[in-house]
Amino acid sequence: MGFLFDGLDAEAYDRTYDDRQLVRRIIGYFQPEAPRMLIVGFATLMDALARAVVPILISRGVDDIGRTQDDALIVAYGAIIAALGASAWLFNLIRRSLTAEAVGNVVLRLREDAFDAVMKRDLSFYDQFPSGKIVSRVTSDTQAFSDVVTLTIELIGQLLLVAVLLVYLFFVDAVLTLVVLIMVPLIVGVSLAFRKIARFTVQHSRRVRAEVSALVQETISGISVAKTFRQERAIYADFLKLNRRAFWINLRTGFVFSGIFPLLALIVAFAMAAVVYFGGLRVQLGALSIGDWYLFAQGVALIWFPLTSIASFWSQFQLGLAASERVFALIDSEPRVVQRDNRALPNLRGEIEFRNVSFGYSDRERVLENFSLHIRAGERVALVGHTGAGKSSIAKLIARFYEFQAGALTIDGVDIRALDLSAYRARLGVVPQTPFLFDGTVRENIRYGKPGASDAEVERAARQIGNGDWLKSLSDGLDTEVGERGGNLSMGQRQLVALARVMLQNPAIFILDEATASVDPLTEALIQEGLDALMRDRTSIIIAHRLNTVRHADRIIVLRKGQIIEQGTHDQLLARGGHYAELYNTYFRHQSLEYIEAARKADAAPAA
Amino acid sequence: MSNVAKSEFTVANAYRYDRRSATRWLISHVMRYRWFFFATLFLYIATYSAYTASEALIGQAIGAVVEPESLALLPTIALSVLGLKVLDAVLSLIGVLSIEFIAQRMEVDAREELYANLLSKSQTFHNQQRVGDIMARATEDVQQLNGMINPGVAITLETIIGIAVPLVFIATLCLELLLVPALFVLIYIVTVVRYVRRLNPVVRRQREQFGRMNAGLEETISGIEVVKACAQEAFERRKFRMAASLFRSFFVRQGYLEARYLPVLFFGIALGMAFLHGMHLYRQNLLSLGDVVALMGIMGVLRWPAFASIFSISLIQAGIEGGRRIVDILNMETELDQNKGGYAQPIKGEITFEDVSFGYGRLHVLRNVSFTIRQGQTVAIVGQTGSGKSTLTQLINRTYDATHGRVLIDGVDVRDWDLDALRSQIGKIEQDVFLFSRSIAENIAFGAPEATQEQIERAARMAQAHEFIMGFKDGYRTVVGERGVTLSGGQRQRIALARAFLSDPRILILDDSTSAIDSATEDEIQKAIRQVQQGRTTILITHRLSQIRWADLILVLDGGELVACGTHEELLRRSPHYRRIFARYDVALPPLEIVAAD
């Protein structure tokens, strides 16, 4: 509806670009649409003129009717008024169609640029911003921007009409025009005040609605508990209290919104009566014709509504600028991971060396300091340590997801910054801690690692994991729909799909951040079998959470605060009784069957 | 009403609404405030009469002032215009506030009715509904009712009254004058209906495409690690461009349709034709000059009601849709009967499945499952996700009824048990333990509000929860859940165990597939579970080796079938499925004895 109600619940945002910069940038995006926008401008003007001339013509007709006996003139008046109405419609049609095209194109370009900018960023960017925020910048902010552009064009059209009418009225009778103009500051002032009050009440309403939603959500999620313990009455009483409070708060908001137009109509009523009275006086003085008097009365009715939009325009416009600023800030930001060469390594062996590497996610805190590690081609390495010890950072640097600050990282003796990143990553198999699946079938998800792979290849890769037995537990085998984010599959099944994806990729380097979530023991056995197959003959770096994986590693690297403090095999390290032994007692002990058996015997002994 | 008998919760003196259909339900909600509704109706007629009369009066005044002797009348006329216009504003204010009141009441009443109804529904109902679905009903759909009344119904009333009243006034000027406006109204109705019909699908598809574009982007960004690791940026870019271009084409198409809104064209033409008609009649001395001016003023009154209706049609449609979805929920019956007066004895804890099958439609979840659990045993159920583990436990407390075969507790078919007696003695701890946004003490004592602090603490100690609770600043008064402290899975589980100690069920079903925890917590949970399983039959759906090893009986499920059942030692010898679990542990397995079938 009117602009008066728009953008009331928007949040304030910080701004760093100034208005002029932004407007220039926006105009830049509209440049390719220049021919369209020219026609839009012309059509807007013509539309306003046609609409302004209709009441003027009627007023002339009212004056002429008494003077002339010419029937043709009367017919002409009717026909021209109708024709003007039709042409106003036509110009409006042209204006709106072309605006839709132009704005549609600009927003599309803006979205594409924003998306490209997002894709160029390294993972530090994604750590910084939650995915929802990024998405809303690419889609919702561009949409908000487009809404404001459309509204602005609309408003310009309405104000043009007001301007044309007022100029005409001023030339007809300057004094009476001043009477009309008295209502302008009143209307604008009341509209501004309204927006201030409405903003306040809307915020309260939004808050109470969120509260109601939270309460309903809690009840519905916890209904089984409430029912088991028969606590319905207490819960209902809580709800009733909040629901009634919500009523009063929403009623207040509703009254403010519903009341504003009648209130404005009250102002218009006085303006109208004034025009009738003073207009009548001036007609009798002979200073005004009857037709013009009619025109003034019509004028009051025609101009007050567009005036309310002026009140809200500035804040609307600022919102649009803020939205566009967020989009531009996204487009302008620079990625930190930058390659300085394009070297391909066709026969990647998978030898990795960290030499005195320093790395931190932010400038304040270093995760790795002067870190050195040599991993031989084909070696199975398990990284263990408490949270924050630097395990994942090592894996992520190898994947070149982040830029490090000092030292050198080489792959097969070549600086990682000099590699053709796309070719290198194609030879890298990465399974993140929570395996991510795309909406689609299992087959499509496995193929994601190697888009050209044939069905037979996909199937072979899947069968290499745990003999392919895991496919039996899927309702449609490889054609099972995994659902949004793999929601139709269990955590364990998702891991199996992710392993098969990597298997198909046949990488030289395999990086696994083992899941911490527990998986049913049967699936766990399948995953372990899959890992055996994957780790054969390739460099494997595992961030380990499973006792089994640690046990089967060639070398365990024990990390603390970004430093290697111990390394060796499971038995060697356990025998040493150092930090690894402590980690074992914290994380791995309960996964040991011997430990469980021993505890069981100990428990059974006194009873026997 | 028939479903009151089956209800598990009722509100005393609740207002009764007509739930026979969505429309009747909506009308009965409005009719609860019928005096407000009739007041609005009356006020709208009055306000449009005042508005139209003021326009007519201005016309008459202009005509009258031509005569010099009417100079004295001018103040009276101006004051009358003022009076009518003020009356118009004031009446419309009261009218709109009155319908606003109905709109807000409607939202609150409907939510209250739905909420009470949800509480009265059985567990079975809630198990079958998705939380998100019900949430949408109780928040969005209910809010849509609000918007349906105001501005939806309010504008529709305005449209009807705002067109009818001016037409009556025009008719009083001269009946023949009705020709053009009446023709316009006819064409207007036809074109608006056509317009809305063509616009709605485009708007809907545009909105859906926006959702798809958003979801696709969200997916790409959430999976960015995979995208980058697989070097698939170009593929994702193509995907996004396609989605964004498609959105653009819907956006532009909507623009085209809105641009071609025909009623504006016809109103423009009608204005010219009405003027022509008016002047023609003036020529024939059938109308005064004042009448012609009045006619043009009244034609102007038609403008707003005619154009506002675009908003109201879709609002009312959305409201009726929302109402239908709410009424569907309200009228949904729970198919399990309470079986009041059925078998009701203290449960001893023997559970028998006799050739039990269960499925929805053609989908089989469980097939021919038979086993017996003796009183006081601890049983571990092992199987992959989707093998039917949870369903099996849901047949025990009659969340569902077996489609074939029998489930017996203490030798009595669960369908012969009094439902209340049965359920109140079977405790269940879900995988994702739910805690209310209340204090820890209240959560533990949720089922026994009269429990003393000592009893609560004793239960917490037995559940190995006391120590971590005391670790919080406010101890047992710490508020948890959405509006309080977030607890880890292991901590929530121990609170639920404490709850179980207080309510003391005879059969305890525990879904222990929570996320991994460290060894110390594991040891504590083990201790707590060993405590709780004393003296009751305990069924564990578990991922943990330790619990499998501690169980008296292990059931191995695969694809809805019970493929093995026995003790650890028996299964190691007999079941290749079960052996696979232990194959990678560095322990010697006994030789596999090939028995008929696994």
| Of A218 and A458, more confident | A458
Residue A408 placed within a domain = yes
Considering the domain architecture, whether residues A48 and A167 belong to the same structural domain is answered as: yes
Question: What span, in angstroms and rounded, lies between the C-alpha atoms of A134 and A123?
Answer: 13
Considering the domain architecture, whether residues A71 and A91 belong to the same structural domain is answered as: yes
Reported as a single tens digit per residue, the pLDDT across A6-47 is: 655 555 555 678 888 888 988 899 999 999 999 999 999 999
Q: From chain A, pick out residues whose CB is under 8 angstroms from the CB of B85.
A: 265, 268-270, 272-273
b/e burial code for range B171-183 (CB count within 10 A of at least 16 → b): eebeeebbebbee
CB under 8 Å to B422, separation ≥6 — which residues?
Answer: B347, B397, B398, B409, B414
CB under 8 Å to A490, separation ≥6 — which residues?
Answer: A519, A520, A523, B384, B385, B386
Per the CB < 8 A criterion, the answer to whether B305 and B159 are in contact is: yes
Considering the domain architecture, whether residues A398 and A315 belong to the same structural domain is answered as: no
Reported as a single tens digit per residue, the pLDDT across B488-500 is: 878 888 888 898 8
Per the CB < 8 A criterion, the answer to whether B519 and A589 are in contact is: yes
B427: helix, strand or coil: strand
Pairwise CB contact (< 8 Å): B62 & A294: yes
Residues 391-450 of B with CB under 8 A from A: 423-424, 427-428, 430, 434-437, 446-449
Residue A268 CA, distance from chain mean position: 43
Work out the number of other CB atoms within 10 angstroms of the CB of residue A124: 16
Considering the domain architecture, whether residues A167 and A185 belong to the same structural domain is answered as: no
Pick from B132, B331, B447: nearest CA to A216: B132
Burial class (CB in 10 A: 0-12, 13-18, 19+), B245: middle
CB contact A1 to B (< 8 Å)? yes
CB under 8 Å to A506, separation ≥6 — which residues?
Answer: none
Per the CB < 8 A criterion, the answer to whether B282 and B288 are in contact is: yes
Question: What span, in angstroms and rounded, lies between the C-alpha atoms of A6 and A315?
Answer: 10
User: What's the average model confidence in pLDDT over B330-353?
Assistant: 81
Considering the domain architecture, whether residues A35 and A139 belong to the same structural domain is answered as: yes
ipTM over 0.95: no
Residue A500 placed within a domain = no
Q: From chain B, pick out residues whose CB is under 8 angstroms from the CB of A597.
A: 549
pLDDT score of A608: 40
CB contact B292 to A (< 8 Å)? yes
Q: At residue A359, does pLDDT exceed 80?
A: yes
Question: What span, in angstroms and rounded, lies between the C-alpha atoms of B36 and B40?
Answer: 6
Would you give the end-to-end CA distance of chain B in angstroms?
53
| Of B69 and B420, more confident | B420
φ, ψ at B421 (rounded to 5°): -60, -40
Question: What span, in angstroms and rounded, lies between the C-alpha atoms of A161 and A47?
Answer: 8
Pairwise CB contact (< 8 Å): A525 & B296: no
Planar angle of CA B377, B381, B384, nearest 5 degrees: 175
Per the CB < 8 A criterion, the answer to whether A495 and A516 are in contact is: no
Question: What span, in angstroms and rounded, lies between the C-alpha atoms of A112 and B310?
Answer: 34
CB under 8 Å to A477, separation ≥6 — which residues?
Answer: A442, A471
Per the CB < 8 A criterion, the answer to whether B355 and B370 are in contact is: yes
Residue A467 placed within a domain = no
Residue B471 tokens, joined: 């670790």
**Measured CA distances, A288 to B80, B195, B462 (Å):** 22, 43, 96
Considering the domain architecture, whether residues A12 and A132 belong to the same structural domain is answered as: yes
Q: At residue A509, does pLDDT exceed 50?
A: yes
Residue A357 placed within a domain = yes
φ, ψ at B558 (rounded to 5°): -145, 120
pLDDT score of A444: 92
| Of B557 and A516, more confident | B557
Considering the domain architecture, whether residues A119 and A191 belong to the same structural domain is answered as: no
How far does B188 lie from chain A, in Å, by closest CA?
15
Nearest to A255 among B86, B97, B519 (CB): B97
Question: What span, in angstroms and rounded, lies between the C-alpha atoms of A36 and A15?
Answer: 31
CB contact B592 to A (< 8 Å)? no
Reported as a single tens digit per residue, the pLDDT across B80-129 is: 989 999 999 999 999 999 999 999 999 999 999 999 888 888 766 776 67
Residue A506 placed within a domain = no
Per the CB < 8 A criterion, the answer to whether B291 and B59 are in contact is: yes
Nearest to A139 among B217, B241, B446 (CB): B217
**CATH for the stretch B435-503:** 3.40.50.300
DSSP characters over A122-133: -HHHHHHS-HHH
Pairwise CB contact (< 8 Å): B217 & A115: yes
Considering the domain architecture, whether residues A225 and A330 belong to the same structural domain is answered as: no
Mean pLDDT, chain A, rounded, equals 86
Residue B382: beta bridge partners? B556
b/e burial code for range A317-326 (CB count within 10 A of at least 16 → b): bbbbbbbbbb
Residue A370 placed within a domain = yes
CATH code, A372: 3.40.50.300
Question: Poorest-confidence range of A74-78, A260-264, A471-475, B32-36?
Answer: A471-475
Residues 329-368 of B with CB under 8 A from A: none
Q: At residue A65, does pLDDT exceed 80?
A: no
Residue A249 placed within a domain = yes
pLDDT score of B5: 41
A476: helix, strand or coil: coil
pLDDT score of B598: 42
Q: From chain A, pick out residues whose CB is under 8 angstroms from the CB of B386.
A: 473, 475, 490
Reported as a single tens digit per residue, the pLDDT across A513-535 is: 888 777 888 888 888 888 888 88
Pairwise CB contact (< 8 Å): A123 & B224: yes
Considering the domain architecture, whether residues A270 and A187 belong to the same structural domain is answered as: yes
User: What's the average model confidence in pLDDT over B154-172?
Assistant: 91
CB contact A339 to B (< 8 Å)? no
For chains A and B, what is the number of CB pairs under 8 angstroms? Answer: 456
B373: helix, strand or coil: strand
How far does A328 lie from chain B, in Å, by closest CA?
18
Mean pLDDT, chain B, rounded, equals 85
Nearest residue of B to residue A596 by CA position?
B546
CB contact B10 to A (< 8 Å)? no
CB under 8 Å to B525, separation ≥6 — which residues?
Answer: B464, B490, B493, B494, B512, B517
Per the CB < 8 A criterion, the answer to whether A462 and A479 are in contact is: no
Reported as a single tens digit per residue, the pLDDT across B421-467 is: 888 888 888 877 878 778 899 888 877 778 899 999 999 988 888 98
Reported as a single tens digit per residue, the pLDDT across B206-237 is: 889 988 898 889 888 888 888 888 888 888 99
B3 — pLDDT class (breaks 50, 70, 90): very low
Q: At residue A3, does pLDDT exceed 60?
A: no
Question: What span, in angstroms and rounded, lies between the C-alpha atoms of B241 and B235?
Answer: 10
Pairing of strands A352-359, A406-411: antiparallel
Give the domain ranges of chain B: 21-174+314-335, 176-286, 338-425+505-598, 435-503
Residue B221 tokens, joined: 């960004």
Q: From chain A, pick out residues whose CB is under 8 angstroms from the CB of B92.
A: 261-262, 265
Q: At residue B170, does pLDDT exceed 50?
A: yes
CB contact A425 to B (< 8 Å)? yes
Query: With pLDDT > 70 as the criterion, what percentage of chain B qualifies?
Result: 92
B66 — pLDDT class (breaks 50, 70, 90): low
Considering the domain architecture, whether residues A153 and A249 belong to the same structural domain is answered as: no
Q: Which of A116-130, A312-326, B81-95, B114-128: highest mean pLDDT?
A: B81-95
φ, ψ at A162 (rounded to 5°): -60, -45
Question: What span, in angstroms and rounded, lies between the C-alpha atoms of B532 and B527?
Answer: 9
Considering the domain architecture, whether residues A143 and A13 belong to the same structural domain is answered as: yes
Residue A598 placed within a domain = yes
| Domains identified in chain A, total number | 3
To 10 degrees, what angle do helices B179-222 and B289-331 make?
40
Pairwise CB contact (< 8 Å): B584 & A281: no
Q: From chain A, pick out residues whose CB is under 8 angstroms from the CB of B247.
A: 108
Question: Poorest-confidence range of A168-177, A286-295, A378-387?
Answer: A286-295
Considering the domain architecture, whether residues A143 and A193 belong to the same structural domain is answered as: no
What fold is seen in the domain B338-425+505-598?
A: Rossmann fold (3.40.50)
Pick from B385, B390, B129, B210: nearest CA to A486: B385
Nearest residue of A to residue B388 by CA position?
A473
Per the CB < 8 A criterion, the answer to whether A333 and A117 are in contact is: yes
Pairwise CB contact (< 8 Å): A517 & B516: yes
To 10 degrees, what angle do helices A71-120 and A34-67 make?
160
- What DSSP designation does A587 have? I
Pick from B304, B325, B284: nearest CA to B133: B325
Planar angle of CA A427, A428, A429, nearest 5 degrees: 120
Q: Sheet holding A406-411: strands in order across?
A: A368-375, A352-359, A406-411, A414-415
| Of B186 and B65, more confident | B186
Per the CB < 8 A criterion, the answer to whether B369 and B561 are in contact is: yes
The residue range of the domain holding A569 is 352-427+541-608
Q: Which residue has the tokens 């039709």?
A: A86
Per the CB < 8 A criterion, the answer to whether A89 and B265 are in contact is: yes
Work out the number of other CB atoms within 10 angstroms of the CB of residue A498: 28
Per the CB < 8 A criterion, the answer to whether A53 and B236 are in contact is: no
Question: Poorest-confidence range of A256-265, B255-264, B288-297, B520-529?
Answer: B520-529
Residue B91 tokens, joined: 């009446």
Peptide bond into B505 cis (omega under 30): no
Class of domain B21-174+314-335: mainly alpha
